[in-house]
Structures are given as structure tokens and as C-alpha cells.
A and B are shown apart, each in its own frame.
Chain A
Amino acid sequence: METQTIISVKEMYKRFPMGKTEFTALENLNLDFAQGEFTGLIGPSGSGKTTLLNILGSLDVPTLGEATVLGKSIGKLNTHEAAMLRRESLGFIFQSYNLLAVHTVFENVEFPLLLLKIPSQERRKMVQEALEWVGLSDKIRSKPPQLSGGQCQRVAIARAMVKKPKLVLADEPTANLDAANSHHILKTMLTLNQELKTTFIFATHDEKVISYLNRKIYLLDGRVDKDEVVTHNK
């Protein structure tokens, strides 16, 4: 596995205003993530895992300290630069899939490539390849409401992976899935992680997800409680 650091979090705080006081969601975080990691931010609700994921995804900024993602300091990016970072290098997978319901599977997966202005023919090839990865080549004309939950999440994975991003951020990706579907999509993500060397960071408290991780970062009240690297063969 590559050891190149692609994310660096240094003495980072995130505070939210709460009436006249402030709520500290993240406190003095220091973390590094290497390329190709399959890492989970684990913790109960309110532990700060989604907040950290949002900052790493340039959807939010730190209050203090620094978060550097793929060489870009998140706190210093303007909205356009943050959008560019997400467009070019990041993929998101959500708990509730968040597919565009009126568009077909093909169009949903194609959307990130449209933003990158990739030519039509190349786009088509890339979408077909991404749908092959998740085993949905026969569903390109279907629309999300015609698919099962597991299939929808596989489309979401294809959408996140189609541009071959360096980093994929997944927020509770299995929360709405049964055990069989959860294992199926986790295996798919793990395969992509190993084949494409894409870094995956999960926010989760699902044991099924945790069992696949090769690094587990436990958060508690906005702090790192435990950071452990595991070796296993899934």
C-alpha cells in the first residue's frame, strides 16, 4: 500500500454557535490519512464524525487549526476552489443514496463527468465501466424509484467512483441496507479501493462496515479516542 499522505489534520477545532455560547464539535484533532486507506470514523451520534467528514469534503471549514486535503488547505479555499476540489478529486456516498430521481441510472452516474466537461464518447465509456464495477450494466435506463435500496446505493458508488477520485467520503453508507446488501456494497468498495487505490473514509457505527476497515479511528465528544490499524483478509 502507498504511504503518501493525502490528508493532514493539525490541531483542528470546529465550533458551532449555540445561542450565546458555542458548541465544540471537534477539539484539537491531529490526523493523517495515507493514499489507499480504507478507514472509518467510528463513534456514537454527536461524536463529530460527520462534521469531520464535511470538513474533509470541503463542505465546511475548520474554526481553528488546519485541514489539508490533497495539498489544499480547506480553510483557505473560496467556494469556487472548494467546488473544484470536490468536482475533480472527491466522491461522496450518502446514507440515503441521494440519486436524482428523474434521471436514469446512466444519467446519474454521468453527472460528475458532465461537470468535468468530459467528451460524450469518453463519458459513455466511463459510465459503462463504473456500472460494470457495481454490477448494474443492465440497469442503465432504469430510474432510481425502479431500483431496490441496494441497487440505489450501488448506483451512488458508481457515481462517486466514475471519475476515479483520489478520495471517497461515505457517510453511513449501509444504514438503510439489509445485511446481504451491506456486505455486497462493502465488498464492491473494498475491491475498488484495492484496484484503483482510492482512499475511502467512512463515518459509521455499523459493525458490518467496521469489520471491513483497515484503520479505525474512534471519536468521542469531538476528540480521537483511539486510532488503530488492523490487518485482515476480507
Chain B
Amino acid sequence: MIKFLIKGLLRDKSRSRLPIMVVAIGVTLTVFMHAYITGFMGDTIEMNARFTTGHVKVMTRAYAEDASLLPNDLALMQIEELLDSLRSLYPDMSWSPRIQFGGLIDVPDSAGETRSQGTAIGWGLELIANQDELNRLDLQKALRSGHLPRKSGDALLSHTFAGKLGIAPGDEFTLISSTMNGGMAMYNFRLSGTVHFGVEIMDRGSIIADLKDVQLALEMENAAGEITGFSNTGFYHNNQAEKLSDSFNSKFKTDDEFSPVMLSLSQQGNMGQYVQMSEVWSAYVSLIFIFAMSLVLWNAGLLGGLRRYGEVGIRLAIGESKGHVYRSMIAESVFIGIAGSVTGTAIGLGFAWLLQTYGLDISGMMQGASLMMPTIIKARITPTDFYIGFFPGVISTVIGTLLSGIGIYRRQTAKLFKELEA
């Protein structure tokens, strides 16, 4: 009997191939959409984490209150001791001191007179002492010309910015800013290379130099505006980050405005809203999509079942029991649901992998953007993608058949028989 049913299923394309295709298309779209949303939202969060917020960030309480102004006069002092404490207390995190600053880049001509100038936002990062920050910001990949800083005095400028200023690797320029103590800071750098991050706000005008040089330039010896912490898993987990900051603050935070406080990414600026929005959005879009797909598949199952009332009538007339007919239809729908969902998941993951690997360049739409958003949209395949389309695919197909099959019980046998004759 099973062989008979399988033969029927395989030979009747409108009963097998078509429903499998419908299920597969629905599941493909669900898996791909979920990976796409996760990738886009996740990339934006990770990009902000890498460049500005870290997964967590330690600052003085006073600095934290005005963090958007980059008040280096309120920076953390004695950071070596604080770093030692952080590394021993939280070994699962990677800690890096940073100084963010604003300033003016002045490019001199051969006579020492100003040839060109431009405002820049700057980062003092550990570039020479270790590789962590180089890897985190993927600077080697971002390098467009020259080389990464190798010795004291080397600095990077964003590629477009360097072009506007008219300087090339090897040329010297001066950073004009303010010291930690409120004095005027002037420091000469040599352009070692130019970088392009694919982030509009970063590529517009930025300088990246070794932390030691920036400390020297801004008179911030053994001080840093912030210490960023990154989870060794490489991904931001809001709950873990908030637990970590609570733990740190319970140990270190005092009433002193210069006491260190730790803020998670979501506690900085409007990132909390973004994290929350991304979670809600991701869930919302996924749910809408799953719901829509379920309706389509449910209807496909329903129509498939209704279309077979004639066949059901003949099977009942020959002596098959209603229960057996119903169970066989459900078994078929389970098979179709699984086959379609497996196919759809595989295809969806395939498309998601392509978008994860190659990305989609939207830089043309991002010109002038003030948000730190990636200019290349990438999907991110997560374990959820392996089942997010699968279960709705199978369940909605089976529910469609269950509902259409109820008609077998509700209609009198003679009526089914009449429909068969119609």
C-alpha cells in the first residue's frame, strides 16, 4: 500500500513536484530574508562596536556623561593598572585603550606654509605594540596605498581625505588639536598609508595613529579616553555585555566623577535603541514573513487536498476507510513538507552564503550618510537559519492538508461520491 501511495505521489507532478516547489520557494525566501536581516543589522552593530563603542567600554564617569564631545580632559588615568585589573578579572574579553579626538590636519608646502587643511576625527590605537586593533579594524584590508604604521610618527589618513588634502604616503602633515590639559597641541606625523573602510562617516575625514604618539601629542601619558572591551566570541551579546558592565560597576564605580564606569554597547549613545530596534525588527520581519509563507503553504495544502476529492471518493467507494485516506494524505503532506523545506533551506542558505561572501555594494546610496553603517550589505548565516524556514514549511503544509482533509469526515460519503462523478 505504501509503495502504491509513493508511486502515485511521485508520478502525479501536481501532487508532488508543484507543492514541493511552492514549499521550497517559501522556505528559501524565509531563510534568505532572516540571514539578510541578521547580517545587515549585525554588521551595523559590529561596525559601531569595532570603531567606536566596543562591546563594552570603560571611561571615567564624567567622560561617559559627555562622551559625544570626546572630552579628553576627563580621560582615564593610570590605565596600565586598570588594564591589568580588567585582563585578570575578565579574561574572556580583549581590552584595548583608545583615544578619540578631533583636530585639524595641516599640510605644509615646501616652504612650510599651509598648503591645505581639513578637519578630521582621530583615533589613537595600539597599532605597533600588538596586532589586536589592526585585526579588529581590518586595517590591512582597508589599506589603499602605502603601509600600516611601523614606527613612532607614522599615521594613516582616510584615502579620500588624503586625496582632498593632496598628500601621498611619505609626506608629512601636522595635527592641530588640544591637549588633555586644555593647551594647544601640534604634532607632526608622516603619512604611512591611506585607508578606505567602506563606512562613509569614517572615509570622509579620519586620522589613525599609534596610541603612544597620540598620548604624546595630547599630553596624555598613561592615560586614555576609553578602554574598549571585545568579546572573544567576536559577536555582541547584549545580555552578556550588560552583566559584565554591572559586575564591573559594582566593583569600581564610586561617587568620584573620575571613577571608571563600564557601559555596554547598548548603553552608549542611541545604540540601545538601535540594538532594541534591530532585535524587534528582525523578529517582526521574520514573523511577518513566516506568517505570510505559512498562509501560502497552508492554502497550497488546502487546494492540494480539495483537488483530490475525486480521488478520495473513488478510494472510499472501493473500500478504503476515511481514517486511512486521511492518514495517507497527511503522511504525503509530511513528505512534501520535509522535501520542500529541506530543498528550500538548502537554496536559502546557498543564496545567503553568496550574500555573506560577496556582499551587495550600496555605497552609491550611502553618500553623505552620518550613520555608521556598512556600505556593503552582507548576510549572516546563523544556526537559526537552519530551522527558521524548515518548521513553518512542514507545519503549514501539514495543517493545510489536515484542514482540507477534515472535509472527508464532514462530507457524507455519498456527497464525496457525487463530487467524484461531477
**Is residue B318 within 8 Å, beta carbon to beta carbon, of the partner chain?**
yes
Asked whether, in the complex, the Cβ of A111 is within 8 Å of the Cβ of B318, the reply is: yes
Q: A100-B311, A103-B8 are in contact. List 4 more A-B contacts (CB 8 A).
A: A54-B417, A83-B320, A83-B322, A88-B319
Asked whether, in the complex, the Cβ of A87 is within 8 Å of the Cβ of B318, the reply is: yes
User: What are 10 A-B contacts with C-beta separation under 8 Å?
Assistant: A59-B414, A60-B412, A79-B321, A80-B321, A82-B413, A86-B316, A98-B421, A110-B4, A112-B318, A115-B319
The 8 Å CB contact of A87, one of B310, B319, B412, B414, is B319
Asked whether, in the complex, the Cβ of A102 is within 8 Å of the Cβ of B413, the reply is: no
**Is residue B111 within 8 Å, beta carbon to beta carbon, of the partner chain?**
no
Asked whether, in the complex, the Cβ of A94 is within 8 Å of the Cβ of B7, the reply is: no
Count of A-B contacts with CB under 8 A? 72
Inter-chain CA distance A79–B316, complex, in Å, is 10
Query: Which 4 A/B pairs are nearest by Cβ-Cβ distance?
Result: A87-B319, A60-B414, A102-B11, A86-B319
What is the chain A residue whose CB lies nearest that of B320?
A115
**Is residue A90 within 8 Å, beta carbon to beta carbon, of the partner chain?**
yes
**Is residue A84 within 8 Å, beta carbon to beta carbon, of the partner chain?**
yes
Residues of chain B contacted by A79 (CB below 8 angstroms): 321-322, 413
Task: List residues 321-338 of chain B with CB under 8 A from any CB of chain A.
Answer: 321-323
**Is residue B365 within 8 Å, beta carbon to beta carbon, of the partner chain?**
no
The 0/1 profile, CB within 8 Å of A marked 1, for residues 410-422 of chain B is 0011100100110
Residues of chain B contacted by A54 (CB below 8 angstroms): 414, 417
The 8 Å CB contact of B319, one of A96, A107, A112, is A112
What is the chain A residue whose CB lies nearest that of B323?
A80
Asked whether, in the complex, the Cβ of A107 is within 8 Å of the Cβ of B7, the reply is: yes
Residues of chain A contacted by B323 (CB below 8 angstroms): 80
| Nearest CB of A to B318, in Å | 5
Residues of chain B contacted by A36 (CB below 8 angstroms): none
| Nearest CB of B to A132, in Å | 21
Residues of chain A contacted by B360 (CB below 8 angstroms): none
Inter-chain CA distance A94–B316, complex, in Å, is 13
The 0/1 profile, CB within 8 Å of A marked 1, for residues 389-422 of chain B is 0000000000000000000000011100100110
The 0/1 profile, CB within 8 Å of B marked 1, for residues 165-193 of chain A is 00000010000000000000000000000
Residues of chain A contacted by B129 (CB below 8 angstroms): none
Asked whether, in the complex, the Cβ of B318 is within 8 Å of the Cβ of A92, the reply is: yes
Residues of chain A contacted by B303 (CB below 8 angstroms): none
Interface of A is mostly: helix
Inter-chain CA distance A115–B322, complex, in Å, is 13
**Is residue B317 within 8 Å, beta carbon to beta carbon, of the partner chain?**
yes
What is the chain B residue whose CB lies nearest that of A120?
B3
Inter-chain CA distance A90–B310, complex, in Å, is 19
Inter-chain CA distance A131–B311, complex, in Å, is 22
Asked whether, in the complex, the Cβ of B319 is within 8 Å of the Cβ of A83, the reply is: yes
Chain A: number of interface residues, binned into ranges: 20 to 34
Residues of chain B contacted by A60 (CB below 8 angstroms): 412-414
Residues of chain A contacted by B417 (CB below 8 angstroms): 54, 59
- Most chain A CB within 10 A, of B1, B321, B322, B420, is at B321
Residues of chain B contacted by A114 (CB below 8 angstroms): 1, 4
- Total interface residues on B, using CB and 8 Å? 24
**Is residue A95 within 8 Å, beta carbon to beta carbon, of the partner chain?**
yes
**Is residue B12 within 8 Å, beta carbon to beta carbon, of the partner chain?**
yes
**Is residue A222 within 8 Å, beta carbon to beta carbon, of the partner chain?**
no
| Nearest CB of B to A113, in Å | 10
- Most chain B CB within 10 A, of A57, A79, A85, A87, is at A79
**Is residue B69 within 8 Å, beta carbon to beta carbon, of the partner chain?**
no
Inter-chain CA distance A94–B319, complex, in Å, is 15
Residues of chain A contacted by B288 (CB below 8 angstroms): none
Residues of chain A contacted by B7 (CB below 8 angstroms): 102-103, 107
Task: List residues 103-122 of chain B with CB under 8 A from any CB of chain A.
Answer: none
**Is residue B287 within 8 Å, beta carbon to beta carbon, of the partner chain?**
no
| Nearest CB of A to B347, in Å | 27
Asked whether, in the complex, the Cβ of A90 is within 8 Å of the Cβ of B319, the reply is: yes
Inter-chain CA distance A46–B55, complex, in Å, is 81
What is the chain B residue whose CB lies nearest that of A86?
B319
The 0/1 profile, CB within 8 Å of A marked 1, for residues 8-49 of chain B is 100110000000000000000000000000000000000000
Inter-chain CA distance A88–B417, complex, in Å, is 19
Residues of chain B contacted by A98 (CB below 8 angstroms): 310, 313-314, 420-421
The 8 Å CB contact of A102, one of B12, B317, B319, is B12
| Nearest CB of A to B401, in Å | 18
Residues of chain B contacted by A102 (CB below 8 angstroms): 7-8, 11-12
What is the chain A residue whose CB lies nearest that of B414?
A60
Inter-chain CA distance A86–B417, complex, in Å, is 13
What is the chain A residue whose CB lies nearest that of B12?
A102
Inter-chain CA distance A42–B6, complex, in Å, is 41
Residues of chain A contacted by B414 (CB below 8 angstroms): 54, 59-60
| Nearest CB of A to B335, in Å | 16
What is the chain A residue whose CB lies nearest that of B319?
A87
Task: List residues 139-177 of chain B with CB under 8 A from any CB of chain A.
Answer: none
Inter-chain CA distance A159–B322, complex, in Å, is 20
Inter-chain CA distance A111–B314, complex, in Å, is 11
Task: List residues 105-122 of chain A with CB under 8 A from any CB of chain B.
Answer: 107, 110-112, 114-115
Asked whether, in the complex, the Cβ of A94 is within 8 Å of the Cβ of B318, the reply is: no
